[in-house]
Amino acid sequence: MIRRTAFVSLLGSVLFLVGCGGDHGLTARGSVTAEADGRTTGFTFPSDTRIDVAGDGAAGLVTGECEMAQVGEDAWGLVVTIRRGATVDDLGLSSVTLMQRTDAEPSAGRVEAELGTTSYGGACEIDVPYAVEDGGMVGLTGSCEVADADGQTARVELELDLVGCTVI
């Protein structure tokens, strides 16, 4: 009887772990900040934070996507987008898109950012310390100045670790 109880208990534990294991979604750790007009704003993820939550973000949730597309042997094209659901203010970082290839020089990166309602964009030094297909794991670091249509600049700094990127 004790063996049967132990077996049933063990089986229940295994089924619970399998049921809870599954897809943990896209998580981010690190930060992306933008400085414009002497003011710094951005996204900070001090621990693994799930950012692929459902909904339109009207409640102010930070949401995001990450895609890894194979562009060659052991080479990946990466696109990461993070956005704030509710408008923070006229200068707050509303969204940022980071683009880079693992087989390119860091200077080939690109950043598009929206601070309030103003769009900025440009080339950016983005290093990819790792991009691993298994688990969709990506690391990104970088720093650059991007400009709006009037030539006003914003400084963008990033250091992100992402797990759960969509592999296409």
**Model pTM?**
0.80
- Evaluate whether 144 touches 122 at the Cβ level (below 8 Å): yes
Domain residue extents for the chain: 24-167
User: Does residue 106 sit in helix, strand or coil?
Assistant: helix
Instruction: List pLDDT tens digits, range 44-69.
Output: 999 998 887 665 555 557 889 999 99
What pLDDT score was predicted for residue 84? 82
Model confidence at 94: pLDDT above 80: yes
DSSP state of 104: S
d(CA 141, CA 28): 13
| Strand intervals (E) in 51-165 | 62-72, 75-84, 93-101, 109-115, 118-132, 137-147, 153-163
Helix, coil or strand: residue 101: strand
